[in-house]
Amino acid sequence: MLKQLTHVQVWVHDQDEALAFYTEKLGMELREDVTVPEMGNFRWLSVGVPGQDDVAITLMAIPGPPVFDEETREQIQKLLATGASGGLFFSTEDAKKSYEELKSRGVEFTQEPTEQPYGIDAGFRDPSGNHFRMAQPRS
Amino acid sequence: MTPVPPERHLLRAKDIVDARFREPLDVPALARAAYLSPAHFSREFRRAFGETPHRYLLTRRLERAAAMLRNTDRSVADICLTVGLRSVGSFTTSFKRVYGVSPIAYRAAHPPVERARVPTCVLQAYARPQSSSFREDSRAAHG
């Protein structure tokens, strides 16, 4: 049967910009960066949270033909840009400290650290419009 | 580098509503965040999200007001100011239009309940009232 989750995928409007954001601003590490010329320069690009080696985030460019027709590609682009494409949830040891650090690096926050029944959490976005949350679990 | 689609700037303005609706925000301030003129901004926002920024801001505030009416014993005037609205009269009018009853009657009908343990952003998004009876709708339909 299924053993473990290894990759989650997020669409990004530009892989170079995403790589810089995820590594330089969010502090993730590059895991895989492979370009395949015979597949129209398809680029498998993934990053991960340092210390969590068994899960990576694949930063996927939105393909046009032959994968998706132009209309589908534009629909995905729009869902991404309007914040309708979903998101990821992270944990943090110190939500307020992480918020200050990430904000000082220019990360766009949708919610400041807020007390919740389960802990303190905050929301932010990547340049493409993906929504992320980080929560400091109640100890 | 692939440029970000224009909707991404509108999303920034929508995020500002979500994060700062308690402040005296208005449409021109939001338009600046999206790098557009107020008129153009309202049109484009509606095209991207299906409703005007004014209505999005108002319903966001009314949702928080309804939650505070259910879960706190703060006064209507206090709640009105806390959610970023300045006139208790127009707050009461808007509230009645959306929820069908006055804030006081709404509070009486909805005693506090145990809330699900999901992020506030989710509660706010799912509980935001939908109404087609705002005055701006008939205006938009004619112009």
Whether the pLDDT of residue A60 is over 90: the answer is yes
Average pLDDT over residues A14-30: 98
Task: Check residue B17 and give its pLDDT.
Answer: 94
Q: Compute the count of residue pairs across chains A and B with CB atoms less than 8 Å apart.
A: 63
Whether the pLDDT of residue A104 is over 80: the answer is yes
Task: Check residue B141 and give its pLDDT.
Answer: 43
What's the rounded Cα separation, in Å, for the pair B139 and B51? 13
Task: Check residue B124 and give its pLDDT.
Answer: 80
Helix boundaries (H) for A7-137: 15-20, 70-81, 95-104
What's the rounded Cα separation, in Å, for the pair A18 and A61? 10
State whether B4 and A16 contact (CB < 8 Å).
no
pTM (2 decimals)?
0.83
Average pLDDT, chain A: 95
CB B14 within 8 A of CB B49: yes
Whether the pLDDT of residue A78 is over 90: the answer is yes
State whether B2 and A13 contact (CB < 8 Å).
yes
What's the rounded Cα separation, in Å, for the pair A15 and A22? 10
A20/chain B closest Cα distance in angstroms: 12
Whether the pLDDT of residue A38 is over 90: the answer is no
Task: Check residue A112 and give its pLDDT.
Answer: 94
Whether the pLDDT of residue A55 is over 90: the answer is yes
Of the partner residues B4, B7, B121, the one whose CB lies closest to the CB of residue A123: B121
Task: Check residue A40 and give its pLDDT.
Answer: 85
Residues of chain A positioned with their CB less than 8 A from the CB of B44? none
DSSP calls for chain B = -PPPPTHHHHHHHHHHHHHHTTS---HHHHHHHTTS-HHHHHHHHHHHHSS-HHHHHHHHHHHHHHHHHHH----HHHHHHHTT---HHHHHHHHHHHHSS-HHHHHHH----PPPSS-HHHHHHHH----S--HHHHHHHH-
| CB-count exposure of residue B48 (10 Å: 0-12, 13-18, 19+) | buried
Task: Check residue B132 and give its pLDDT.
Answer: 57
Cis peptide before A117 (omega within 30 of 0): no
Q: What is the ipTM of this complex?
A: 0.85
CB A82 within 8 A of CB B7: yes
Low-confidence ranges of chain B (pLDDT < 50): 138-143
